[in-house]
Amino acid sequence: MTPPPSGPLARLGQSPPLLALLGAALLWAAWPVHPVPLTLLLFVGFVPYLRLEQVLTAQGARRGRVFVFTYLFLVLWNAFTTWWVSYSTLGGGIAAVVLNAALMCLPLMAFRRTKQRFGTKIGYLSLPIYWIAFEQLHLHWDLSWPWLTLGNGFASATGWVQWYEYTGFLGGSLWVWGVNVLVFRALFGAAGVAARPALARRWGVAALAVALPIAFSLGISSAFQEKGPAAEVVVIQPNIDPYDAKFPGTPHFIPFNEQLTRLIARTEAAITPATRLVLWPETALDETYFEASFNATPQAGRIRQELLARHPGLSLMTGITSVSTYPDEAHAAPTARHRDDLGYYDVFNTAAYFPNASAPVQFYHKSKLVPGVEKIPPALSSVLKNIDLGGVVGSYGSQDERTVFPPTATAPALRLAPLICYESIYGDFVAAYVRNGATLLGLITNDGWWSDSPGYRQHLAYGALRCIETRRDLARSANTGISAFIDQRGVISHRTGWWVGAASRATVHLNTEETFYVRHGELIGRGAQVLAVLGIIGLVLTPFIRKR
């Protein structure tokens, strides 16, 4: 029998569709970039779902019915929060919502099964374990789309999570689930109605679970000082419409040489004799360049002669589209393509680094590729190749190592980590640059694909979490969207406007110390995966043990 109503929320809780809608709406309202006080809703956003599951269990609902309402809750949350992906490509936006919601069902259904088999205490303890194990998996496999990793939800409230330097953003995911379970048990109790004698204690524990981490974070922030020597950096936002003017075939295409002229002119107007680094955005130079001959191209020559030679001590990183060839099929990467005139080759979304006017250009290849747009998982290639998800047909190439561009004589402490767009939402991935010696995070992106939506603002906010985790400054150059600087506490400054050409100049600090999170990585994620595997083994083996 369903427990009787004991208050407004409990009465509402008799309707699974309304509970699914309420939970999705709470999580959407809590998500960046809504006002910071609304972030508190993260701590109750899953309570309607937990009530939904409890009611259905009490009604004796079958697994299929529980799955339907679980999926409804998750697909609504995904749709409310990431609908803007459809601006770039309708098919990709639908796929991101529909498929990601289906994947998110897996940890929730594992929780339900565990609760049925081992009881409520173990069941609710298993819930954050399964969820974080899923989030850890979602950071590393071919279908990776971790935009809604719960720890990212605090990106607008960085003052609350300065302890991410120890836990990373999965510590935020654990915090969210822990408080939601405590609030749920305070409202409804393990069996559906909270026991009166325990009510005050339960609410007190839930309140402390929210307040203590925030107080600890504020203490860290008040004592923190920016670390490392200073350097002046300039970021350029050319603001060339990717749909209308940036690429060949668009209605008002601006010739590539004219685009380069504008970049050089805007840079010249912004730099000073103290400037040591300039960032141009992702695919700022979008003609396809062969890496082996890039140094001899007219475009590289113009950059050297018209900019770097005139300003000794200046370095520049720009986004390009590059091609690298392989001698034969045996040496080709799995993503390689073939043409009779070229042989085997890979196309890369690349960061090209000019250390000065004379040194050879160095390259970094974007490695965290957007599923379906830049990377087609092998298992899905036969399906996705017939669906227009935007981008190229087939996968871009990538690289395994995190390249850190070395210092120059005029900036001996500046070791640059090149991040390209989507890569900035991966905590341990960014930390790997710091383990390789990076003292500054340089993000180049083109957020104009998402139009004027929450997407580019969320992307900016997530960068602040990477700065806290690594205690590194971040310089951000966007084709359009928001270019900005973020300091080691996650404070964003020098923001440009939306859909305007701009240049920003700021002094950054080049920290050389490694945080606990940088040194040890995703301990919470890896630990959750071990426990989740043990839990699943227990689910599988328990019936056989009981039979014996």
Contact 322, 292 (CB under 8 A): no
pLDDT in tens, 519-547: 999 999 999 999 999 999 999 988 777 77
pLDDT score recorded for residue 375: 80
pLDDT in tens, 149-208: 999 999 999 999 999 999 999 999 999 999 999 999 999 875 445 456 678 889 999 999
pLDDT tier at 481, thresholds 50, 70, 90: confident
Please, which contacts does 342-349 make with residues 24 or more away whose CB atoms are closer than 8 Å?
A: 346/396, 346/397, 347/288, 347/321, 347/322, 347/323, 347/392, 347/396, 347/397, 348/321, 348/322, 348/323, 348/324, 348/396, 348/397, 348/398, 349/282, 349/283, 349/319, 349/321, 349/374, 349/396, 349/420, 349/421
pLDDT in tens, 342-388: 899 999 999 999 999 999 999 999 999 988 778 876 655 555 444 44
Record the tokens describing residue 170, joined without a space.
């999965």
pLDDT in tens, 203-261: 999 999 999 999 999 999 999 999 999 999 999 999 999 989 999 999 999 999 999 99
Q: Which of 10-14, 106-110, 268-272 has the lowest mean pLDDT?
A: 10-14
Q: Supply the mean pLDDT for the chain.
A: 92
Q: For residue 246, count other CB atoms closer than 10 A to its CB.
A: 23
Record the tokens describing residue 419, joined without a space.
């991040």
Q: Rounded to the nearest 10 degrees, what angle do helices 90-118 and 120-138 cross at?
A: 150
DSSP string, 176-236: HHHHHHHHHHHHHTTTSS--HHHHHHHHHHHHHHHHHHHHHHHHHHHH----S-EEEEEEE
pLDDT score recorded for residue 391: 39
Calculate mean pLDDT across residues 44-61.
Answer: 95
Contact 515, 166 (CB under 8 A): yes
Residue type, 118: F
DSSP string, 427-459: HHHHHHHHHTT-SEEEEEE-GGGG-SSHHHHHH
Residue whose pair of structure tokens reads 């071990």 in the numeric block: 530
Q: Does 3.60.110.10 match the CATH number of domain 230-512?
A: yes
Record the tokens describing residue 417, joined without a space.
């980590």
pLDDT tier at 2, thresholds 50, 70, 90: very low
pLDDT score recorded for residue 379: 58
Say whether 271 sits in a helix, a strand or coil. coil
pLDDT score recorded for residue 119: 93
Q: For residue 358, count other CB atoms closer than 10 A to its CB.
A: 9
Calculate mean pLDDT across residues 28-44.
Answer: 97
pLDDT in tens, 309-350: 999 999 999 999 999 999 999 999 988 899 988 899 999 999
* pTM reported for the whole predicted model: 0.92
Q: Is the pLDDT of residue 393 over 50?
A: no
What percentage of the chain has pLDDT greater than the value 70?
93
Total residues belonging to the chain: 548
